[in-house]
């Protein structure tokens, strides 16, 4: 069973359901006790283990024989679980249960094309992008760009599938993959950077904590899952403002914004907005504060909640990161 029931829900407490699998178990080992400390019950339900009964216009929910009525559902689904998870989130919303993040938000954040469209609409996309299946259009776009580009899967995370194209000939493997899979390409300019990017965690659109992610020697993909190193990044006003703007554009009430430092222009640019990021302890404690408030009154929480602590100074305490990442911390 991939669902998680540490303790039975208490009838005198709001119930938070985390719709997720066990991929982020280390996160849940921090989040679940923190939520209970804040006077809420919490269970994790795997999308494939959720049972929904609709009778006489009323929905009821159960998993592993436990029937429950949530006060809040947290959508935390990726890849193969995205679409079944979105369906469940829509069902919960139809039953009047508040959902964070919503099905639409998950789709916006996990589809890079849609993310870019929403960032552009809010003036938060600082570079041109192209998506489609037309090979001529992609080659023409790159010729007009006049420099290297990065191609990415439209859906994907963890740094997988990223390719750098320095010439039009370098696009051929990407176009061959499009022809084989029938999926669209997505391309953006290569951003000159200092060998790192910044992951900014936001809760209720407020930047709470950030970390640098460094690419391994001789590589350029900075994602931790790709073998990079990490270090705490103090939140500046510029970083916080851009992350908040990107979060609001996509709608992530809990999320991660990936920001690049363009060394050619000196500007900060948004790479991606993540709706289901692997978090770190300070983020999970802030999320627990927000979710506990939202389980009691979601409208009031969204309107008034602010983080009690923002990590805007240098702090080298390894406890800011999960124990599993202590070996990845880069020494200053």
Residues 91-125: tens digit of each pLDDT: 999 999 999 999 999 999 999 999 999 999 999 99
* Domain 196-328: top CATH class: alpha beta
The Cα–Cα gap between 7 and 9 comes to 6
Q: Does the pLDDT at position 204 exceed 80? A: yes
Q: What pLDDT does 156 receive?
A: 73
**What residue ranges do the domains of the chain occupy?**
15-108, 128-189, 196-328
Domain 128-189 = CATH 3.30.1490.20: yes
Domain 15-108 = CATH 3.40.50.20: yes
Q: What pLDDT does 158 receive?
A: 63
For 178, half-sphere exposure in the C-beta direction (CA atoms, 13 angstrom radius) is: 19
Q: What is the mean pLDDT of residues 302-308?
A: 98
Q: What pLDDT does 228 receive?
A: 82
């Amino acid at each position: 069973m991939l669902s998680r029931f540490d303790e039975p829900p208490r009838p005198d407490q709001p119930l938070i359901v985390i719709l997720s699998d066990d991929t982020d178990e280390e996160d849940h080992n921090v989040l679940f006790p923190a939520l209970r400390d804040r006077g809420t019950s919490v269970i994790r339900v795997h999308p494939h283990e959720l049972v929904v009964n609709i009778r006489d216009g009323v929905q009821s929910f159960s998993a592993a024989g436990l029937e429950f009525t949530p006060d809040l559902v947290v959508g935390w689904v990726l890849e193969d679980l995205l679409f079944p998870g979105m369906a469940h989130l829509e069902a919960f919303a139809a039953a009047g249960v508040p959902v964070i993040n919503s099905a639409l938000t998950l789709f916006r954040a996990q589809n890079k094309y849609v993310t870019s469209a929403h960032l552009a609409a809010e003036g938060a996309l600082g570079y041109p992008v192209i998506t489609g299946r037309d090979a001529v259009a992609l080659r023409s776009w790159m010729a007009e760009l006049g420099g290297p580009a990065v191609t990415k899967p439209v859906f994907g995370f963890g740094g997988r599938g990223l390719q750098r194209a320095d010439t039009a000939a370098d696009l051929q493997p990407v176009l061959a993959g499009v022809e084989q899979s029938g999926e669209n390409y997505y391309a953006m300019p290569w951003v000159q950077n200092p060998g790192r990017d910044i992951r900014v965690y936001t809760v209720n659109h407020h930047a709470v904590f950030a970390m640098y992610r460094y690419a391994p020697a001789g590589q350029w993909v900075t994602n931790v899952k790709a073998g990079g190193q990490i270090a705490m990044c103090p939140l500046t006003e510029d970083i916080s403002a851009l992350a908040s703007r990107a979060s609001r554009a996509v709608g992530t009430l809990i999320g991660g914004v990936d920001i690049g430092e363009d060394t050619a222009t000196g500007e900060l640019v948004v790479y991606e907005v993540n709706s289901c990021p692997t978090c770190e302890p300070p983020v999970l404690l802030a999320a627990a504060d927000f979710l506990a408030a939202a389980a009691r009154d979601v409208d009031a929480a969204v309107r008034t909640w602010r983080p009690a602590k923002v990590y805007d100074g240098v702090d080298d305490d390894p406890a800011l990161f999960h124990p599993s990442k202590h070996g990845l911390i880069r020494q200053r």
